[in-house]
């Protein structure tokens, strides 16, 4: 109890908490984009349940990993040497997760650009996955993102209560943002392609990190923010054109 009181009145602890919360929320965005795209492939009545289940599993996994901080630290220790390149368990998990993201995003892009009849498109967009398959894939990526998240937390602070608060806060934000983000992605087909592009970039970043090439997260998220801004401008432009065409059609009818 005395330890918690000391943390509560420590300015350094509050700064560490604020910084870590921001980092965890940003890392959670990657996880949320994947969950949103994947659950949108399910039948409508299963999507909300799958999203909540996926995010809940992410929270359980993160808290479970936090309870084994000593084991998490060991994940960063070298375990294998291949042609002079040393890999830890964390590196191999990140590489596997990155490859999975590349495969998944590339497959989804292929389905999006493949020429099909409208009926086939509608069918493939709603019944491509079963609930069990979707949850299995979400669980796999939850593990990758959770390990990345907890290793980041362990590297930023040594205080377990701060880690727990930051992780729970990030998952709560994910839970609140899940429905609006999934609806926005589902309602805007061009955003789906943009989000899949983000997943490819995140996958490549994970692979690079696994091979020891540190990629500053600021660069990655700045690129994502810039791309999102361009897409928003495109959406506003398309909306303005549709409105103009509708007004012209109304004028001609009059």
Burial class of residue 178 in the structure, from the number of CB atoms within 10 Å of its CB (0-12 exposed, 13-18 middle, 19+ buried)? buried
Residues of the chain with pLDDT > 90, as a percent, come to 0
| Number of domains the chain is built from | 1
Report if residue 185 sits inside a domain. yes
Mean pLDDT for 125-129 is 49
Checking if the pLDDT of 115 tops 70, the result is no
| Contacts with 27 (C-beta within 8 Å, 6 or more apart), sequence order | 145, 148, 149, 152, 170, 217
Report if residue 72 sits inside a domain. yes
Report if residue 243 sits inside a domain. no
Checking if the pLDDT of 125 tops 60, the result is no
Checking if the pLDDT of 126 tops 60, the result is no
Report if residue 230 sits inside a domain. no
Where is pLDDT greater, at 176 or 13?
176
- Confidence band (pLDDT; 50, 70, 90) for 3? low
Report if residue 35 sits inside a domain. yes
- The rounded Cα 157 to chain-centroid distance in angstroms is 23
Mean pLDDT for 109-127 is 56
Q: Tell me, what's the pLDDT at 122?
A: 47
User: pLDDT tens digit string along 141-193?
Assistant: 888 777 777 777 766 666 777 788 888 888 888 888 888 888 887 777 777 78
**What is the domain extent for residue 89?**
2-76+84-215
Q: Tell me, what's the pLDDT at 117?
A: 43
Q: Tell me, what's the pLDDT at 69?
A: 66
Checking if the pLDDT of 4 tops 70, the result is no
d(CA 139, CA 93): 13
Mean pLDDT for 134-140 is 83
Write the Ramachandran bin of 212: left for phi over 0, alpha for psi from -120 to 50, otherwise beta: left
Report if residue 239 sits inside a domain. no
Report if residue 210 sits inside a domain. yes
User: pLDDT tens digit string along 53-97?
Assistant: 888 888 888 888 777 766 766 777 888 888 788 888 888 888 888
pTM recorded for the entire structure: 0.68
Report if residue 248 sits inside a domain. no
Query: Residue by residue, what is the 3-state secondary structure of 103-121?
Result: HHHHHHHHHHHCCCCHHHH
């Amino acid at each position: 109890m005395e330890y918690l009181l000391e943390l509560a009145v420590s300015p350094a602890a509050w700064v560490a908490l604020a910084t870590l919360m921001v980092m965890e929320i940003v890392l959670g965005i990657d996880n949320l984009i994947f969950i949103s795209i994947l659950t949108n492939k399910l039948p409508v009545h299963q999507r909300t349940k799958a999203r909540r289940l996926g995010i809940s599993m992410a929270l359980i996994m993160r808290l479970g990993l936090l309870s084994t901080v000593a084991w998490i630290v060991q994940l960063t220790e070298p375990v294998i040497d291949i042609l002079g390149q040393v890999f830890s368990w964390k590196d191999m998990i990140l590489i596997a997760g990155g490859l999975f993201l590349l495969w998944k995003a590339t497959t989804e892009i292929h389905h999006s650009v493949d020429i099909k009849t409208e009926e086939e498109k509608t069918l493939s967009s709603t019944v491509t996955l079963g609930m069990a398959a979707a949850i299995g894939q979400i669980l796999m990526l939850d593990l990758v993102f959770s390990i990345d998240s907890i290793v980041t937390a362990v590297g930023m602070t040594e205080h377990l209560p701060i880690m727990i608060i930051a992780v729970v806060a990030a998952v709560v934000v994910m839970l609140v943002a899940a429905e609006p983000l999934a609806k926005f992605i589902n309602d805007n087909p061009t955003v789906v392609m943009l989000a899949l592009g983000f997943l490819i970039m995140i996958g490549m970043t994970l692979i690079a990190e696994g091979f020891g090439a540190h990629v500053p997260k600021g660069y990655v998220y700045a690129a994502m923010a810039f791309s999102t801004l361009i897409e928003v401008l495109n959406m506003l432009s398309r909306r303005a054109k549709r409105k103009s065409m509708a007004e012209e059609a109304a004028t001609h009818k009059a």
